[in-house]
Chain A
Amino acid sequence: MSFEALDIHKSFGDTPILKGVSLSVAPGEFVALLGPSGSGKTTLLNIIAGLAHADRGRLVLDGRDITRLPAGKRRFGMVFQSYALFRHMTVAQNVAFGLKVMEGARRPPRERIAARVGELLEMVELPDLADRYPAQLSGGQRQRVAMARALAIDPQLLLMDEPFSALDAQVRQSLRGEVRALQKQAGVGAIMVTHDRAEAWALADRIAVMDHGRIVQFDTPDALRDDPATESVRSLVEGVA
């Protein structure tokens, strides 16, 4: 699945948040949206997810215009900053949710759903915690459940909003590798919002550096290092290398 956002504009009242942002994700590619808070990256992610709407611009998935498609019909798996797990559902129920709410004919039978949930919990290495509630889990475990829940719907694109920001440094390191491995295994393109450049460098195939509602440079980590487009990108790169 290839995805494109074309010339996205968005204002809140008189304040422009996104000033013509374009972005593309190749099949299976991992793209990081890197920028300081207030640069518009979360707004862009919400527009891509269908949770907010652009004032101008288009979203294209495999050549099909999905700009006006409601969030639920896009089949984009989303991992939220604080995970947004359903607090009154068990881990297994959380992961099964996206399959259970599918419309009539597309909804898998009960046994299929249970098997799929088992597989996913196996994949995120939490097979024993199926009957726990989110409040009984550690931060890292919650993050994995959120990941499994997003992958359960067999997403066309994986969206992650600061997926590691609620974790302590040690857990963060080890989970990075796991998230990347899961995304590769699922063979799904991904967009991750982050303000942490080390995280972007460690995970992404390409990095879109955002500042004040624009993408300043969108390239591979190496290209950003060798040929920074602006002074701000240069100073950003120096910090990492």
Chain B
Amino acid sequence: MAKPILIALALMFLAAMVLLPVVAIFDRAFAEGAGAYLAAIRDPETLAAIRLTIIAAMIVVPVNIVFGVAAAWLVARYRFWGRRALLILIELPFAMSPIVAGLCFLLIYGAYGPVGAALEPYGIQLMFNLIGIVLVSLFVTCPFVMREILPVLQVTGEAEEKAALTLGANGWQMFRHVVLPNISWGLAYGTVLTMARAMGEFGAVSVVSGAIRGRTMTLPLQIELLYNDYNATGAFAAATVLTLLALVTLVLRSVLNRFGPNREAHA
């Protein structure tokens, strides 16, 4: 008896909280017809925002992969002073409000912050441009890859790596042929999460972007801007693009879940 009630409750909740809003975005975006929708998407500012969002994600994701693998490796394979502190520090972005993170970056890397002021004489500006957007996106996404790989590394242990070393493999061969195949699913999963977050981040990016129209507006910022301009079709059309990007990562994620060998055993 409990089962059908639980199912009904879950479905109702999902419909109200997830499905309806997504449907509403598409409904509103097409409310004035497909022509208006396409025109809104082809708006130069919106196209620029899409481009900037994708460029930023394409920088953030690889950097995060390298950092995440290195950090997970360090924590899984070595015992050192400050290891626990490092683990907590890496997870800090999970706990911290993104807008606070953005403000921190502004304080340090902005023109009046210690780092920003030191770099200014050389004509290097870190905030209110692509660099700033990339920096804060790195901050908010930095735990994802590391968190996915760490448990896999801990479960597989280092015996295989030692075996590879005794058989004559150098560090790179060991990583390429032994470690990478073992962590590949966790790595792919963490990458997808990073990508989704990097493209969707609003709070931290809004602080450091400077909101220069057509230049430093990412897609989430552009959506808010259009909405505040009473350009509902434009806002919702842009929102459909972001939603589609999110859906693509979601599909990727479930594909990984489905075909990833022994994900349960690894996680």
Contacts and interface: CB of A to CB of B under 8 A. Distances in A.
Interface of A: 49-51, 70-78, 80, 82, 84-88, 97-98, 101-102, 149-150, 152-153, 159
B159 A82 contact: yes
Interface stretch (B86-94, B101-109, B134-142, B166-174): B166-174
Contact of B168 (A73, A87, A88): A73
A86 B178 contact: yes
Contacts of A82: 159
19 contacts: A50-B165, A70-B165, A72-B165, A72-B168, A74-B166, A77-B166, A78-B166, A80-B159, A80-B162, A86-B164, A86-B178, A87-B160, A87-B182, A97-B169, A97-B177, A101-B169, A102-B168, A150-B167, A159-B166
Given A73-B168, A85-B160, A87-B182, 5 more contacts: A72-B167, A72-B169, A76-B166, A80-B159, A86-B164
Contacts of A70: 165
B169 to A, nearest CB: 4
A153 B168 CA distance: 9
Contacts of A73: 168
Interface residues of B, number: 17
Nearest to B158: A84
Interface of B: 156, 159-160, 162-170, 173, 177-178, 181-182
Nearest to A98: B167
A65 B49 CA distance: 63
A74 B169 CA distance: 11
A75 B168 contact: yes
Q: Taking each of A71, A72, A77, A152, which has the highest tally of chain B beta carbons within 10 Å of its own beta carbon? A: A72
B165 A71 contact: yes
Q: Taking each of A82, A97, A102, A152, which has the highest tally of chain B beta carbons within 10 Å of its own beta carbon? A: A97
Nearest to A77: B166
Contacts of B178: 86
B165 A88 contact: no
Given A82-B159, A84-B160, A86-B160, A51 B177 contact: no
Contact of B166 (A72, A85, A87): A72
Given A97-B177, A101-B173, A50 B166 contact: yes
B260 to A, nearest CB: 13
A152 B169 CA distance: 14
